[in-house]
Structure 1
């Protein structure tokens, strides 16, 4: 089938009307949700041929409703009662993200340095490159320039990810945290503290985790928790701690709203640290 704009489609679908959209990489064509559903359940998968055309790649499927990429089964709605438990999961080749992941050749040269890590989070945020640079600036300061002890910083971030059941944030910061001194025993202690159980963590680490939980649950740290932490931290360190927790409370909401897919190398972390309610 050929569209009015000369784009060749490799299969025929009933009631399919091209819809024109624009993004940073040029003009793309999508079809209506009805056609998407039909294509998915018929076993077809769309694959961009180049920047200006789209090709439909057929896949044989003995049962049109057995295609694992079909999103019409409704199983996700029953996966967990937690509102963010299904965020960060991709099924087969079905990418969940609500905006495109951009590669270096799709953005202006002056912004390509932001894709050095080449994670899905960074590849999506460069849809707004100046905002992404500002976002990266805060994240980079927290990781490399903050006066807060890096192990305690990473424990606070992990507590936010664990509390919010954010697979992406938690698994990424398990790997990052271990580069900054977080041990498996520390992570086990975080899980125990979250459940109100005792742990072998030192008093300051326990207080910081409590403060992070309070900011997630109650918006703010309690007077008692703030005062307990402040006994051990300078004013600068205390500011860094609060801003770090607040920043990653924001990050999990970006990840959830944009439905950013977790990368396979980070999903492996779930084998050691499964998050309750997250498949």
Structure 2
């Protein structure tokens, strides 16, 4: 499939051994982990006093859902107070209250996590995905560059997500495939879903937020 040409740094322009932001996984089946478990968080999780009672309570509820301690994404971003609540409302409108089926949303999020090497997103949404029908076979297929596992609709979503992450665009042919698969509202939601979790992967990595331990 033809894709739009983009001016991007050549491998020689980067220090030897350094992976580019948009490079795919090193090999099929591997999650490229950039969120090292041993990394020290650059902003420590907030306490009850620092977060305020509502945000602190929200983090504890979220931990019960995921079976972990209060998720660090909430206890860290919660330090931003008003911005945190605005982000949480936006994120919730995409997932779990979006128009795409929950299983499909989780597949897209997990694909972004894999492509961006976000160990936090990967672990967090594997736990959530199991609750909405994401299977072990799905998880295996998500870690492959291509797989016959997906049905036609799922294949369009996965391929479109890959292209958006690599090119920041869809060419006319790929857009036509996506538009034939999703409604107008779902197309807008899909684009925002991919972009949102791409942004979160960058934020999580830069803040050195490690995957949440089990409760």
Deviation at 1:203, TM superposition (A): 0.9
| Partner in structure 1 of residue 34 of structure 2 | 87
Task: Provide the C-alpha distance between the structure 1 equivalents of 2:214 and 2:176, rounded to a whole number of angstroms.
Answer: 39
In our comparison, the structure showing a higher alpha carbon Rg is: 1
**In the TM superposition, what whole-angstrom CA distance separates every residue of 1:7-59 from its partner, at most 9, and x where no partner exists?**
xxxxxxxxxxxxxxxxxxxxxxxxxxxxxxxxxxxxxxxxxxxxxxxxxxxxx
2:117 aligned counterpart, secondary structure: coil
Please give the residue correspondences for 1:173-192 in structure 2 after superposition, counting only pairs within 5 Å.
173-192=125-144
Aligned pairs, how many?
181
Deviation at 1:110, TM superposition (A): 4.4
Deviation at 1:171, TM superposition (A): 1.4
Q: Give the gaps of 5 or more residues in structure 2.
A: 1-16, 22-31, 63-69
CA RMSD in angstroms, aligned pairs only: 2.1
Preserved contact between residue 78 and residue 84 of structure 2 (Cα < 8 Å): yes
As a proportion of its length, which structure holds more strand?
1
Task: Provide the C-alpha distance between the structure 1 equivalents of 2:85 and 2:170, rounded to a whole number of angstroms.
Answer: 29
Preserved contact between residue 51 and residue 75 of structure 2 (Cα < 8 Å): no
Task: Provide the C-alpha distance between the structure 1 equivalents of 2:181 and 2:37, rounded to a whole number of angstroms.
Answer: 42
Task: Provide the C-alpha distance between the structure 1 equivalents of 2:33 and 2:126, rounded to a whole number of angstroms.
Answer: 19
| Partner in structure 2 of residue 69 of structure 1 | none
Displacement over 4 Å in runs of 4+: 83-86
Deviation at 1:105, TM superposition (A): 3.5
Task: Provide the C-alpha distance between the structure 1 equivalents of 2:40 and 2:20, rounded to a whole number of angstroms.
Answer: 16
Please give the residue correspondences for 1:29-44 in structure 2 after superposition, counting only pairs within 5 Å.
none
